[in-house]
Structure 1
Amino acid sequence: MAQKILSKTKTARKLTKNEKHRITIANLVLIPSVIKNYIDTLVKVYRPTFKYKLKVEFFYYIITTIIRRQNTYENKTLENIPVALNATILKGIKSDYNEYIDWLIEQEVIFKAENYEPGHSSNKYCFSDFILSSLKDDSSPEIVEMEALASDTVIVSKSIQQSPVYKENEHLLKWFDDKLVIDFEGAKNYIQDLVFYENGYFDFTHRKVHWKHQISALHNKVFHATRNKESDFRLHTVLTSLKKIFKPFVTYNGQKLIGYDLKNSQPFFLIFLIDSIISNNDIINNILDRIYNKKEIKSFMLQKLWERLCTEDFREEYAVFKNWVLDGRIYENMTGIITPDQHLGSFYTYKYNERLKYKVREIHDSSRNTMKGVFFTLLFCGIKTKDKHYHTFKKAFPNLVAVMDIFKMKNNADFSRILQNIESECIIDYVTRKIAKEYPEMPLFTIHDSISTTENYAEILKALIPQYIYEYTGLIAKIEEEKWKKHDFQIDYKKRLELYPEWYTYNGF
């Protein structure tokens, strides 16, 4: 956020237009060499005639931004999904950015998704079939520099230490250095023949393109960090986008990493949210001010919440639900009111896919994991959803669901932002900051609600996490240890094939 600059007479100087809209981008980015070479050749043969001087690095920036946005938690299947580009950032870098995008479309490097609705959604882009086929044959990355894009409005940070979020998160980001290493060859070999992963038997061709990009970023020390108050406020790094199958190959200073997850984290922070509203906790008031920036919306919402929270029916439901959460068995207890769908040895749910515009089946290896998926749907679905599990849960906890729906009255995404903001402030700004102050030599890495360190500090970290979560929330948290160990999905597949051959025959595997 821009700050006022005061003269010696304490008179505020009016900020220039450039100072108000300065943009920071990373200097080093990874681009698949096959795409870079193709663009370089096209520029030579079909040189663009733009209004302003051509900067080929901006082509690289657009391509790597699409890859990075496809390589997110939301895109779990790591498909070639259409992703939006931030027009404000693009325009800040190059005022004629549309000419660059149009040229890439004309040269069939990318294409614009057809489901764009003017005034209702942003333009979205993905790679052409030709580029995809090339990536499948050769997805080796190349490091390129973005320094040529620096200007009065653009700051090019040459290291993670120069990123805008480094100073406020130094206690975590300072550990992204040469000691953070991935066994690159081991990771590549591990996925070379992988065909079974996360309870599914898939064609991993495009996933492997993204996977190689993930491990290459870590291997080549292309570190980045972002944290945006306007969205989830989570700290995003090269580790938060790294798939769990690569965790065993990561070490720090030659030591393996051990992590601790907050069990049932989203339900846990939901309990903290409700308790804080009842007690008028300033922490929650500040977060609500951030999410609901219009006072009348927040005021009306709080009035509706109080009307519901003060009822005897709500208090009775809430006591049961709170006990489920703090006992650490919410998902197990949910099976008592929701019968998980099961067929031929596997559990599954149907989840509406916004991109495909229809429900897709998600397979789970246990009823607990099935209920975890169901609960996330309960938390983040729209108020008018037709999801059968939502309505089953609502019959059992009508007042609790009514409270959750109040947070979604303006936009159902607001509710997820609230819980993610609470999680981030708790884990990033309180728990890890307190630990770093007490043990400044302890390496700390976060992946949202999970905190990891090296083996020699694991027991200390294990003891401190629940202590400081309690200080922040007043609630006793349960944590689970996660050793960054190998998961032999190929062996898991063979075992399941022996146990449930009819399921794999039924599904054509």
Structure 2
Amino acid sequence: MNYTLTEPGLLKKIAKKDQERRLVAQHRTEHLSKWLKQNDFLMNKEAALGYLDGSYKDNSKSYHKRLDFILNFENYLIKYSREGDDDRFHSIFTRMPSDLKQFVRFGDKKIVEVDITNSQPLFLVLLLEEIRSIHQDHIQSSLSFKELKKRIKHTLSSYINNSNKDSYYNISKYKIDTNRLSNNISTILSKSLETLDFTDVLLFKKLVIEGVIYEHIEKVLLESNAVWKKDEQYFTKLYNKGKGIQEENSFSTPRKCVKTVMLNALYSPPNTKGLKAINDLKKEFPSLFTIIDAIKGKQSTDFPIYLQRMEAKFILDICSKRIHKQNPKLLLISRHDSLSTTEKHSKHLQCIMQEMLKNYLEFPVKLKREAW
């Protein structure tokens, strides 16, 4: 059931908070927020409502969620922010269900999205490559623990909006403790000079760059029976935190299944035991997960947030900002790991992003274009 707020005092407080969020977003990401005007984007509401009636009539929750976005499209356009621990730019296009994008136009122009394939694994590879380089220096030059920690902390800070002591994320409640993270990594590197050989890390990098990481994991987990197929569905056991038990989860495709396993392995607490799929995945990439579990330490929630902020800094503060500086009249819409523009300019956007990513990551990256 939907409720409509009518209390004047509460509405005033909400409006004031929305305005404060917009001002922060405009200050930090004006090159993106400037496009979110009510008259620039149009939604074909008649077609969207017809689609809704045909696709979600038996799913009340999904129906009403989408109905809200359709009916309030113009009002939601001007509700955007860039605050929170993920450092992302949040707008109607990051909140709106993806299947409604097809009904949105920029004036009369179609919109095309350029998406970074396997975005967070790519940024993970970038971080791991830096750690591997520091580890090699540590072996060859016998860096002291203090020197090792200093280099790792500098690396961690450089990839997120955390390096400037006066920056937003150093003076807000969302600051990531890079000192703790660097201490965790330095400790594991110091203790594992012989056992941490990075062979499987290099394999992981190769698979991610080639865009076949999930196909590889699928093969490994199907062979070990950690993932199994039944009646055209794919199953694995995952931990249900709310219930405190392991339970079977079903997926329509093997990719969705192994991607969920991978995300659980990356982001769950390092002491997760008894989950065959995660344990078998960690056996395939032992050094990789030794480092990841060290980074997570006891506060495992910092790690996914750190990767999101690596992604956000590149997409929002490096890539899109440079593109806007070169092409100030080019429409830019950000959606987490993607940028969108009008169909006419989408190939140009893809070429620029491709080049910037290659220079930033120092290895080639696959991008895909998809029409809204």
The answer to whether the superposition gives a TM-score over 0.5 is yes
Alpha-carbon distance between aligned partners in 2 of 1:439 and 1:407, rounded to the nearest angstrom? 39
1:46-445 matched pairs, under 5 angstroms: 56-58=8-10, 146-147=11-12, 157=19, 162-177=22-37, 178-195=39-56, 203-228=58-83, 231-277=85-131, 278=133, 280=151, 282=154, 284-286=156-158, 287=160, 292-293=176-177, 295=179, 297-307=180-190, 310-311=193-194, 313-339=196-222, 340-359=227-246, 361-385=248-272, 386-445=274-333
Alpha-carbon distance between aligned partners in 1 of 2:246 and 2:110, rounded to the nearest angstrom? 40
- In the TM superposition, residue 309 of structure 1 has moved relative to its aligned partner by 7.3
CA distance 1:298–1:355, shift in 2 (3 Å): closer
- In the TM superposition, residue 346 of structure 1 has moved relative to its aligned partner by 1.6
Alpha-carbon distance between aligned partners in 2 of 1:211 and 1:418, rounded to the nearest angstrom? 31
2:167 equivalent in structure 1: none
The structure where strand makes up a greater share of residues is 1
Root-mean-square deviation (Å): 2.7
TM-score by length of 1: 0.61
Query: Do the aligned partners of 1:257 and 1:452 also contact (CA within 8 Å) in 2?
Result: yes
- For residue 19 of structure 2, what is the amino acid of its counterpart? S
Runs of 4+ aligned structure 1 residues displaced above 6 Å come to none
Deviations along 1:283-322, whole A, 9 cap, x unmatched? Answer: 5334477654373x24421312433775465321112111
CA distance 1:357–1:273, shift in 2 (3 Å): same
Q: Which runs of 5+ in 1 are unaligned?
A: 1-31, 41-54, 59-145, 197-202, 485-509
Query: Do the aligned partners of 2:237 and 2:277 also contact (CA within 8 Å) in 1?
Result: no
TM-score by length of 2: 0.82
Aligned residues: 336
Query: Do the aligned partners of 1:444 and 1:452 also contact (CA within 8 Å) in 2?
Result: yes
Query: Do the aligned partners of 1:308 and 1:314 also contact (CA within 8 Å) in 2?
Result: no
CA distance 1:305–1:194, shift in 2 (3 Å): same
- In the TM superposition, residue 435 of structure 1 has moved relative to its aligned partner by 0.9
1:67 equivalent in structure 2: none
- In the TM superposition, residue 456 of structure 1 has moved relative to its aligned partner by 0.9
Deviations along 1:398-455, whole A, 9 cap, x unmatched? Answer: 1111111011103111110111010000111111111111111110111100111111
CA distance 1:299–1:168, shift in 2 (3 Å): closer
Larger Rg over CA atoms? 1
Alpha-carbon distance between aligned partners in 1 of 2:192 and 2:318, rounded to the nearest angstrom? 28
Deviations along 1:174-200, whole A, 9 cap, x unmatched? Answer: 11111112112211210113259xxxx
Q: Which runs of 5+ in 2 are unaligned?
A: 135-150, 164-169
- In the TM superposition, residue 335 of structure 1 has moved relative to its aligned partner by 2.2
Query: Do the aligned partners of 2:269 and 2:298 also contact (CA within 8 Å) in 1?
Result: no
Alpha-carbon distance between aligned partners in 1 of 2:288 and 2:95, rounded to the nearest angstrom? 33
Query: Do the aligned partners of 2:198 and 2:288 also contact (CA within 8 Å) in 1?
Result: no
Alpha-carbon distance between aligned partners in 2 of 1:360 and 1:194, rounded to the nearest angstrom? 29
Q: Aligned with 2:87: secondary structure?
A: coil
Alpha-carbon distance between aligned partners in 1 of 2:183 and 2:47, rounded to the nearest angstrom? 56
Q: Aligned with 1:418: secondary structure?
A: helix
Query: Do the aligned partners of 1:184 and 1:219 also contact (CA within 8 Å) in 2?
Result: no
CA distance 1:353–1:181, shift in 2 (3 Å): farther
Deviations along 1:181-237, whole A, 9 cap, x unmatched? Answer: 2112211210113259xxxxxx51122121112233324454222223x51111111
Query: Do the aligned partners of 1:262 and 1:449 also contact (CA within 8 Å) in 2?
Result: yes
Q: Aligned with 2:88: secondary structure?
A: coil
Query: Do the aligned partners of 2:156 and 2:178 also contact (CA within 8 Å) in 1?
Result: no
The structure where helix makes up a greater share of residues is 2
Question: Percent identity, aligned pairs only?
Answer: 24
- For residue 416 of structure 1, what is the amino acid of its counterpart? P
CA distance 1:248–1:292, shift in 2 (3 Å): closer
2:146 equivalent in structure 1: none
Q: Aligned with 2:72: secondary structure?
A: helix
- For residue 396 of structure 1, what is the amino acid of its counterpart? E
Q: Which has the higher contact order (CA 8 A, sep 6+)?
A: 2
2:144 equivalent in structure 1: none
